[in-house]
Structure 1
Amino acid sequence: MSKPKYQQLSITSIEQSLEINEWLAQFSDGQKVIAKTLLSRLNFVSRDEYSHWLRRSIEQLPPNKKYALYSIRKLDSDEESYWDSSGAPTLRPATSQGSEDLVYSLISNLVRSNNKYLLDHPTISDLKSNKIRNLVLIDDSIGSGDRVSSFINAILENPTFLSWWSFGWIKITIICFARPNASEKRIVDCIRGSDHGKRKFRKSSKIEFISEFVYNERWLEERWGTNYKQIVELCKNQTKVGKWARLGYGEVLSNLIFYHSVPNNTPGILWFSNNKWQGLLAGRVLPSWLIDLLNGNAVEKYTSSSTAPISNELLSLLSLVKRGVRRVSSIAIRLNVDHYYADKLIEHAARLGYLTPNLRLTNAGVDILKQAKEPVELPKWDYSLYIPSSWCAGQANIQPSTGKVLSSFSSTDSAEALAFADGDVGEASLERSDAKAAAPPFSVMPQSPSLSRESHDTDGPLGSKER
């Protein structure tokens, strides 16, 4: 199965988008570059990519079996069972249900193309008459797993279906594009039934997961880069966003966003909105202007580099290059960004015509620095704590010298010896005097070989003569 292609926001799109710049205005100057780093790390999945992946996943299910397809949805608090009194699925609300709307339509298309083995949301009587023992529950992404576990428990509320489940006649396959690896255990633990080893049909053996992207919730560097701690602090410190939403629902902090919906396990600063904060993706919906940016179909707002906005980090980059700093790693450290963002920022500057491929300022780049209203304040590099490696002495360097070397420095009154040592005139080096006065470390002292502890020493101490 070929890997789906993710789309990402380029630095050029982030810099030139008026909507993004309005959202960035809510941050302080020191936080803006971190917010831009967050945006550059988001992965977007289009509707076509998701639908193609779902079709391939269904086609790769074991053949010659019948499958009942259901879209996972969040039930109302007053709905305990997924089935009505006649054994049919409860009616879907008339309002939009977010990601479930797309999944529901995709299931309908899949069943029409292969109605011999696939059934679209069948009733209990349909499951019985068609002898279907395989249920496929479909979603786009799973965060904490609460919605999936509650949905399965609602299915098990029907007595007939519960008996099938208890006898091991039903197997459930959960297909979702992305999920944390810990969600599988949470879902299994929350659904009805026993997972005891003595049970003939353990509930964990009756559930299978199929996902394209499985990630570790705590391994944030994989998703957000080496500066992930700054992104976490940015989200935590945004008090205008609800506390439960700052790191996403369940504190998953996912970076995956679908064209058809924005999962609530992504950072809340992206989608949370109230009278104090306006999310970039308000209502957890991907706006059309952002889709145009991702697809490269947006109308260019700036026809030349002279009219393009110049951010503080872009000016800092040009100033660093002017000073001779050209390594990407050095630029990243001085700008307090990760290597990925620094590399993309350099590409953006080159695209605007400010830098050459060899990281040299062009005439336009020089003009931009001259036109800067205020001098660019570059991060100051603290050299006070820098110690050359040649100055560092290891354990072997401070041991007492032997042989000719020792004899050449045996007298501390020698002016030549004092000049060679690191003490002042008339004083021996403290390092050398300490090394001479101190006893050698225990690790270099001669020691007797250790004896076995398995039995008593019946031969007496080493070196003693037998009598």
Structure 2
Amino acid sequence: MTHPPSAGGQQLRPSQTAQGGAWLSNFRPDDAPAAQQLIDSLHFFSSTTFRQGLTKHLHSVLTHTVPAERPAALYSVHSSDTSGTMFTGCLEPLVPSAGGSELIVQNIVRATEREFDNTVVSKQTTSLELLKDRRVRRLVFLSDYAGSGDEAINYARTWLRNPTIRSWRSLKLVQLHLVLFAASTTALKRLEAGSWYDGVHVLHYGMDFPSVDWEQSERDHIRTVCNTYAPSMNAARGWGDSEGLVVFEHTIPNNLPMIVRQTKGRSPYGKWVPFFSHRTAPQELMKSLADYRPDFDRQRRLRAIRQPRLAAASHLQTMERPELARIIDVLAHVAGRRRNPAQLAAALGISIPAAMEITLLAQHLGLLDEQTRLTDAGWQELRKAKARPRRVASGLQGSTEPYYPRQLKGSR
């Protein structure tokens, strides 16, 4: 993925933009470094990257994860009455008008319905009767992001309050699936722990305070800054204290810390200078930071899981064997008891499908078993990767002395 270059040829950081520099003027000198670390840890997704990524992920789920022997009904997740029931009163699965992320997601739904022909339906399943007539067996809900998980959970509940849907599900006649472009640590934990969905399929995971590679002292300082400079403690670290770090071109999620998106705050220097404006971002800022990602410090990640020798050798491995570096990283994190694809994805700074692909490759090579545990060959490869490269000195030494053979050729 390419990043916008700065004048020095490096990717431009949020703190290096005019908007970022002005925003940092809100903070006291001892808090400014933590504030800078916060905005430089944001992940920016352009509308193009978001649309292409979610479309590809959805198609993969529909093709490989959700069997297609019966049509799948596809809907976009949207905010609804927390006590409402689907197909009751005015509550319907299709929203007549929408904006922002909901509009983009609905466009993806319509395009997918056309591409998959009869195996994916949406407009033709706006009632229980139509769902029954089409013999739909999977309800697939699509959304851009789960920060706290509230919206996705509430949406599933509106369906499950319907006695017919609840009955079909208890008889295993229908399943509920959720497809997300991204989910925070908090949201995915809630979604997987509950019984609302039969499957949760996430492309990008983490990108929040718990998953970023800050030192604990840095994380504590950043949290203190978020609490100190926000107008109130309510959502100071994002909705539901979800501590998100994701920014979309089409919307600013409400699980970002308040100090990043507020227009009024508690600055000791007077009027607050905003970075974002509530749920929108200046167009010029988004253009400068399109698809910006924080630097991935592989050595720091390895040291954090107590792999200092591997961290010391990691630069040479990446340069000499880049195709094996990710496999070695997976082995190291599995050795540290991180076997879940989402955990591996966050640790490696890649998508969940990419982490699953590398894991499958390691299993194919015999380095991991089917339970994602290191095999003897995997442990051996990990030990080999930790070894420092041997320095082989030449056996020939230069000399100005004349050479006199000690033995004639052919004599014994």
Bin of the TM-score, shorter chain as denominator length: 0.5 to 0.7
Structure 2 equivalent of residue 73 of structure 1: 78
Structure 2 equivalent of residue 175 of structure 1: 179
User: Residue 30 of structure 1 aligns to a residue in which SS?
Assistant: coil
Shift of 1:75: 1.1
Structure 2 equivalent of residue 227 of structure 1: 218
Q: Quote the Cα distance in structure 2 between the aligned partners of 1:120 and 1:223.
A: 43
Structure 2 equivalent of residue 44 of structure 1: 44
Contact 1:8/1:44, CA 8 A, preserved across alignment: no
Contact 2:192/2:200, CA 8 A, preserved across alignment: no
Please say which of residues 112-121 and 126-135 is displaced more in the overlay: 112-121
Q: Quote the Cα distance in structure 1 between the aligned partners of 2:247 and 2:215.
A: 14
Q: Does 1:213 align with 2:204?
A: yes
Structure 1 equivalent of residue 27 of structure 2: 27
Shift of 1:86: 8.9
Q: Quote the Cα distance in structure 1 between the aligned partners of 2:89 and 2:15.
A: 56
Q: Does 1:156 align with 2:146?
A: no
Q: Quote the Cα distance in structure 1 between the aligned partners of 2:215 and 2:17.
A: 22
TM-score normalised to structure 1 length: 0.52
Fraction of identical pairs, as percent = 22
Shift of 1:15: 5.9
For structure 2, the 5+ residue unaligned runs are 267-271, 292-299, 301-412
Shift of 1:233: 2.1
For structure 1, the 5+ residue unaligned runs are 191-202, 297-328, 330-467
Contact 2:5/2:12, CA 8 A, preserved across alignment: no
TM-score normalised to structure 2 length: 0.59
Contact 1:70/1:137, CA 8 A, preserved across alignment: yes
CA displacement, residues 162-205 of structure 1 (integer Å, 9 cap, x when unaligned): 22122121111111122234534533666xxxxxxxxxxxx47x
Which gives a bigger RCO, structure 1 or 2 (Cα 8 Å, sep 6+)?
A: 2
Q: Quote the Cα distance in structure 1 between the aligned partners of 2:81 and 2:206.
A: 29
Change (3 A) 1:148 1:14: closer
Q: CA RMSD in A?
A: 3.3
Choose from 244, 252, 257 the match for 1:254: 244
Contact 2:178/2:199, CA 8 A, preserved across alignment: yes
Q: Quote the Cα distance in structure 1 between the aligned partners of 2:224 and 2:265.
A: 22
Structure 2 equivalent of residue 136 of structure 1: 140
Structure 2 equivalent of residue 187 of structure 1: 191
Contact 1:69/1:136, CA 8 A, preserved across alignment: yes
User: Residue 289 of structure 2 aligns to a residue in which SS?
Assistant: helix
Shift of 1:80: 0.9
Contact 2:207/2:244, CA 8 A, preserved across alignment: no
Contact 1:182/1:216, CA 8 A, preserved across alignment: no
Structure 2 equivalent of residue 288 of structure 1: 283
Q: Quote the Cα distance in structure 2 between the aligned partners of 1:113 and 1:215.
A: 31
Change (3 A) 1:143 1:88: closer
Please say which of residues 48-57 and 14-23 is displaced more in the overlay: 14-23
Shift of 1:223: 6.6
1:25-424 aligned within 5 A: 25-60=25-60, 61=62, 62=64, 64-65=68-69, 66-76=71-81, 80-85=84-89, 88-89=92-93, 91-92=95-96, 94=97, 96=99, 98-120=100-122, 122-123=125-126, 124-187=128-191, 203=195, 207-215=198-206, 219-222=210-213, 227-238=218-229, 240-274=230-264, 277=272, 279-295=274-290
Q: Quote the Cα distance in structure 1 between the aligned partners of 2:279 and 2:37.
A: 20
Structure 2 equivalent of residue 320 of structure 1: none
Contact 2:209/2:219, CA 8 A, preserved across alignment: no
Larger Rg: 1
